[in-house]
Structure formats: structure tokens, C-alpha cells
Copies of this chain bind each other. A is one copy, B any other.
Amino acid sequence: MSTYGFLGLGIMGTAMATNLIQAGFDVTVWNRTNTKCAPLVELGAKQGESAAAVVAGCDITFGMVSDPEAALSLCFEKGGVLEGITEGKSYIDVSTVDPDTASTVYKAIQNKGGRYLEAPVSGSKQPAEDGTLVFLCSGDESLYSDAQEALDVMGKKSFYFPLIGQGAQMKLIINMVMGTMMTAFAEGLSLGQKVGLQPNDIIDVIAQGAINNPMFQLKGPRMTEGMFATAFPLKHMQKDMRLALLLGDAHNQPLHTSSAANNAYIRAKQNGYGEEDFSAVIKNIEK
């Protein structure tokens, strides 16, 4: 059985590494602030000296950090992932990075004879704890295959796409559809209120039909009460929509409906709702 490293023990990383350890895998952890390692060591993990040391000492190492900048640092800094890479070593970045970042890391690791997989996840804290994440992978296919047992422990499903960057692209496209569905829903709720229908009736009617989906049923009732506790910040949705639209621009794909939705999020940011949940876009559609 392979040995595993895990770098980055924030909310997501801690939950994911915990699942690996509890499934009986041999796991070595590392975190920039090393106090985060203690609870996992208690569960049976070893603690690494540096990112490089973990990568050098394990067969397959996962990394989970907050954004593309952090992902680049973790790879390229002194004592970082790249230093530990030699032939036969493997690195899987489960952070959400853009296609360019994934490509940069991929080439650097390949040049040293290592294997790389970009594997951004769909799902947040709860699915991470429950082991029901979805992995959107691209890069080295043999690594995807070798890591399957670990991915199966942390997630309910994983996908492999052949070209590096496609994991990130898939995530942008899903979020673009999600963001546009949300403005369509908000327009429907807002129009309904103006003609005198109860928003909860609209949500209930939707619940009976072909367009029903968890997002409408989960967020809808809160939206009608003006409650927007942040699950996915509006400003991040807008950023993802911008990146998806630029992808469309680069491939000559007109995206009229999604562009209109993007402008709704931009207006919401302008009005100060950027830190709220992306469903707060309804506030700007209502008035």
C-alpha cells in the first residue's frame, strides 16, 4: 500500500487528512503553523519536517491551500514541494487553482521526473468531513489511478480529464451555470413578489417539477427572509464567472445569459454585498 503525505491543514485539509488516517492509511502531515499537526498526530499520523521532506518521504503527497498564490509558494519556495520531488514521487494539488497555475506546477514537477495531478474539489466543509467530496482531476493518468484508493476515502466520486487545466476549467463552468441559475431564480422570486405571489409558494411549486434542485430548496427560503449567511462568498462567485467568461472569450463562445448574470454580481459587489453569500444577488434584483 502506498504511503501518503498531506500538506496544508486548514478546515478542509484537516478533515481530509483525518479521513485518510481513520481509513488506516500511512499518513505524514505538515503545516506551515505546525500546531495544527498535533490532533492528527494523536490520530496516528507522522509529522514531517518540511513540505520537501514529506514529498521525499512518501509515495503520494496531497496539498490543500487557499488559492493559486499559496499553491505556487508551497511548490516553489525553499523547502517546498519541488525540492522533494525526484523520479517516482507524486504530488496531487487539491487546492482550487486556475489552469495557468496548474500548468506551471505540472511542468516543474515533470521536469524533475515526478508525477502531478491537479484535483480541485467540489464541496466544502461538511462533504470534506463526510468523505463525500468530488474530485475534478487532470494531469498524470497513472497517478490518478494509483491514488484512487485515497480519493475514494475522501470523496464520493472523482473524474479524470486528459489535459492539464481541465479540472480547473470544469469547476469554472459548473460555477458559471450555478451563478446564472441563481440570478434566474432570483429574477423569478422577485417578479413573483411584485405581482403578489408568496416567494415560498414559488419555491414549493418548483419543488414539484423538473427544475427542482438542492440549491433552490436550501437557499430559497433564506433568500425570502433576507438571510445570506455566507456559504460561498458572492465576490468569489463573481470572480469565477469572470474567469469563465474570459474562457468563453478566448474560445469565441458567446455567453449572453451568463454575461447578464455576471453583471448582476458586479452590481451586488458595487453595493457592498461581496462578502455575503452569492444568493444575496437577489437584493440587487429586487430593487
Contact = CB atoms under 8 A, between A and B. Distances in A.
B249 A266 contact: yes
B270 A261 contact: no
Q: Give the residue among A169, A184, A269 with the most B Cβ atoms within 10 A.
A: A184
Interface in A238-266: 238, 242, 244, 246-249, 251-264, 266
Contact of A170 (B159, B197, B258): B197
Count of chain copies: 4
B254 A267 contact: yes
Contact of A218 (B183, B210, B255, B256): B210
A112 interface: no
Contacts of A252: 194, 266-267, 269-270
A92 interface: no
B211 A212 contact: no
A255 to B, nearest CB: 5
A98 to B, nearest CB: 13
A176 B197 CA distance: 15
- For the residues of A in contact with B, the DSSP-based class is helix
Interface in A186-243: 187-188, 190-192, 194-197, 201-202, 204-206, 208-215, 218, 238, 242
A218 B177 CA distance: 17
Contacts of A258: 184, 187
A266 B254 contact: yes
Given A122-B208, A170-B202, 19 more contacts: A123-B209, A134-B205, A134-B208, A161-B201, A169-B192, A176-B184, A180-B181, A184-B257, A187-B256, A187-B257, A191-B253, A191-B255, A194-B248, A194-B252, A194-B253, A195-B247, A210-B214, A252-B270, A257-B261
